[in-house]
Structure 1
Amino acid sequence: MAPTSGENTSDYAKEQQAVLDEEIGHVRLITLNNPSKLNIITPEVVKRLAVLYEKWEKADDVEIIIIKGVGRAFCAGGDLRMFYHGKAEKHVIEAVYKMYWLEYHIHTYKKLLVAIVHATAMGGGASLTVPSTFTVVTEKTVLAAPEAGLGFHTDASLSYILSHLPGHLGEYLALTGARVDGADMLSIGLGTHYVPSEKLPELEKCLVNLKSGDKGIVRAAIEEFSIEVQLGEKSILHNRLLIDKCFSNDTVEEIVESLIAEGNIEGNDWIQGIIKILKRSSPTGLKMTLKSVRQARNQTLGECLKKEFRLTLNTLRGVISNDMYEGIRAQTIDKDFSPKWNPTSLSEITEEKLDLVFQAFDEEFELQIPQEEKIPRWEGKFESSGYNVQ
């Protein structure tokens, strides 16, 4: 596909390098192809994905879209350096807007989507995979939403996704940035099939050769390669009752207090690590994230995306804090891993301050997406999740 009139040739080359696409019969294959940068989501990647998804949804001869990545990460999330250097400049806001439009499109896509998550999917990378009709995970898959620890919030539809997890696992994953493996993803509804990584080439070949995009036929094809899997010794689900107890509290302060109390009980040593994570995370990021996930429990997908869009823009503008820039500096720019948060404590971030970043924009500045929306396909995964596993 050649660059269209007015499209920058160098930008086109970057898009083609980072996102590869193949057309094979009724199947379309997307490969995230920037392994040296862990397949991060740059503005070029967003633009290219948006073009492909929109074109293929309208094409009569397309029935299945498969997305995968190469290298040691499926997708490490958004381009943090772009945020750090671009701040709230026009090109950054445009990239954010396009990403949210893309997320809505993926969640409500009319054709069958298969995500093959062979490795790490962080933040926005996770949101490219979970809304798929089928999400294939392996023994190498890791998913996490680490934004709160960086002074940001669970973005790119993650407040919606996490709020629909069983119990209060959503709050736990959002606030701690804890990583879940393929077995955990399958058990809590973030994945549909567990396929050993060595079988992925065969699975892909099988899917490409299918003559039908019928959901039942595709499911049966994937099941030919999938296996049952047991939770690992370090699975978060072994501690799900305590997680629900602690992370059901109303405020971040109360969650921390509950964790401290439970951590003093014999056998709960694992909680000390969770407390340390929360205490070194951005207080602003934690409070924004908890409020966002809690709101999402009673919001539609569209409402969640509009809310997250506001939070992202107001964070970029430093409405109540510049913690996001400090978090990116400490982790990605200077790599001293010693962020200096401001405000420094949870108590300094009042509801009145939080309201400033959640406040709706004038309609012309809001994220514009269709008002009528289908129920996102991935919610059905919970119907057969193994959350009750002992």
Structure 2
Amino acid sequence: FSIILIVFTHVVNVLFGVSLCVLEQMSSQAEPDILLDKVGRAGVITMNRPKVLNALNLSMIRQIYPKLKKWEQDSETDIVIIKGVGGKAFCAGGDIRAVTEAGKVGDSLAQDFFREEYILNNAIGTCKKPYIALIDGITMGGGVGLSVHGRFRVATEKTLFAMPETAIGLFPDVGGGYFLPRLRGKLGLFLALTGFRLKGRDVQRAGVATHFVESQKIPDLERELVELKSPSAEDVSRVLDSYQNQSTLGADKPFILQKHISDIDRLFNSSSVEGIMENLKADGSEFAVKQAETLLRMSPMSLKITFKQLQMGASLSLQDVLVMEYRLSQACMVQEMFHPSASVILMLVDKDQSPKWKPSTLSEVSEQSVEQCFSSLGEKDLAL
């Protein structure tokens, strides 16, 4: 992608030479942002904002949540399928620019968006019906939250997954603190701190997706899922397994990180971000040097918050992780280091890929400032 603009908690909108504002203006108001259909005995959620890579906004969240809860209780609904249109993205993130602007002036949108998004993430994670996310295309930020907590996640060769929030001074939210530390070894921590991108079959090999199916087979897969009669999760799994077995694209290539898995487990095994940096520098291999260079470009504050987020999240429930991440999201809205002037807007509008972090080094980030971001919000805490 020629211009990487924004990855804010649940935002990565990859734009091609034009600003998000222009794309928003181009987006037709005649078309609904979200389609919620009943097809046979399946509830089908379709994100319908292809011109902005199906970016998630508050209106969409407010439509999806009650429909998901209704389908979960409906005896006439057996499964839920979520997908995106346009061929480029499942959902590239959250429509966050308005949220960051609201945060600067104290508008309630800064609380409402995160609160209601996380409540939706939890509803997906606890859904009693088989929930199938067809992540065909860019899946980042908010798109990860709409998919990764569901029972089934189907990647294709078009899937591009990443949680690169540390690159703009934020943290991998939408339950990132829950699913990332549960990936094998230190892989989740590596992905969280470096923002490394996984593509295609590698998204499944990493454990982010449950299945890999070639993109051209997705319409047939969806049709077969919809035609299932009172399916159990095992029935859905058998169909997905069948389509995966038919999909040989990329099967002959090893996992992109396979030769580095032991290195990642060793180098990212530390009690602090500083310790990881020391490991990387001491190792001196080409891989280690590259990761050290990557981390040096990231927000020092974000790296430390993300490290603690995953460290704590490894032993917490999804609900407790979302409560923790809501606290972090609100810290992002009030602390100077997170303000759009410091990073997000520079990358969004000025296309400046070298934001000036504050604090600028890991040593300048105090433990007290990190702890403060995790502090209880009292009666304003997220309630699930």
Q: Does 1:253 align with 2:274?
A: yes
Q: Do the aligned partners of 1:152 and 1:315 also contact (CA within 8 Å) in 2?
A: yes
1:380 — aligned with what?
Answer: none
Q: Does 1:327 align with 2:348?
A: no
The whole-number CA distance in structure 2 between the counterparts of 1:200 and 1:232 is 22
Displacement after TM superposition at 1:293 (Å): 0.5
Segment of structure 1 superposing worse, 229-238 or 40-49: 229-238
**Gaps in structure 1 of 5+ consecutive residues:** 1-12, 370-390
The whole-number CA distance in structure 1 between the counterparts of 2:188 and 2:30 is 33
Partner SS, residue 173 of structure 1? helix
RMSD, matched Cα? 1.9
Q: Does 1:223 align with 2:241?
A: yes
Q: Do the aligned partners of 2:148 and 2:208 also contact (CA within 8 Å) in 1?
A: yes
Q: Does 1:122 align with 2:140?
A: yes
Q: Do the aligned partners of 1:186 and 1:194 also contact (CA within 8 Å) in 2?
A: yes
Q: Do the aligned partners of 2:92 and 2:139 also contact (CA within 8 Å) in 1?
A: yes
The whole-number CA distance in structure 2 between the counterparts of 1:135 and 1:196 is 13
Q: Does 1:294 align with 2:311?
A: yes
What pairs with 1:136-155 in structure 2 (closer than 5 Å)?
Answer: 136-155=154-173
Displacement after TM superposition at 1:324 (Å): 5.8
**Selected match of 1:99 from 117, 121, 133:** 117
What pairs with 1:148-297 in structure 2 (closer than 5 Å)?
Answer: 148-227=166-245, 230=251, 232=253, 235-262=256-283, 264=284, 268-297=285-314
Q: Does 1:355 align with 2:376?
A: no
C-alpha deviations, 1:81-119, integer Å up to 9, x for none? Answer: 123311142122111110111111110111110111111
2:75 — aligned with what?
Answer: 60
Partner SS, residue 68 of structure 1? strand
The whole-number CA distance in structure 2 between the counterparts of 1:166 and 1:234 is 13
Q: Does 1:32 align with 2:47?
A: yes
CA 1:52/1:329 → structure 2, altered by over 3 Å: closer, same or farther? Answer: same
Q: Which runs of 4+ in 1 moved over 3 A?
A: 13-16, 228-234
Partner SS, residue 143 of structure 1? strand
The whole-number CA distance in structure 1 between the counterparts of 2:70 and 2:349 is 37
2:323 — aligned with what?
Answer: 306
Partner SS, residue 157 of structure 2? coil
CA 1:240/1:323 → structure 2, altered by over 3 Å: closer, same or farther? Answer: farther
Q: Do the aligned partners of 1:115 and 1:129 also contact (CA within 8 Å) in 2?
A: yes
Displacement after TM superposition at 1:300 (Å): 1.6
Q: Do the aligned partners of 1:151 and 1:324 also contact (CA within 8 Å) in 2?
A: no
Displacement after TM superposition at 1:294 (Å): 0.6
Q: Do the aligned partners of 1:184 and 1:237 also contact (CA within 8 Å) in 2?
A: no
Segment of structure 1 superposing worse, 50-59 or 114-123: 50-59
**Selected match of 2:126 from 100, 108, 114:** 108
Normalising by the residue count of structure 2, what TM-score does the alignment of the two structures yield?
0.87
1:76 — aligned with what?
Answer: 92
**Gaps in structure 2 of 5+ consecutive residues:** 1-27
Q: Do the aligned partners of 2:144 and 2:174 also contact (CA within 8 Å) in 1?
A: no
Partner SS, residue 30 of structure 1? strand
2:101 — aligned with what?
Answer: 85
Aligned residues: 351
Displacement after TM superposition at 1:171 (Å): 0.8
C-alpha deviations, 1:30-54, integer Å up to 9, x for none? Answer: 1111111111111112111112212
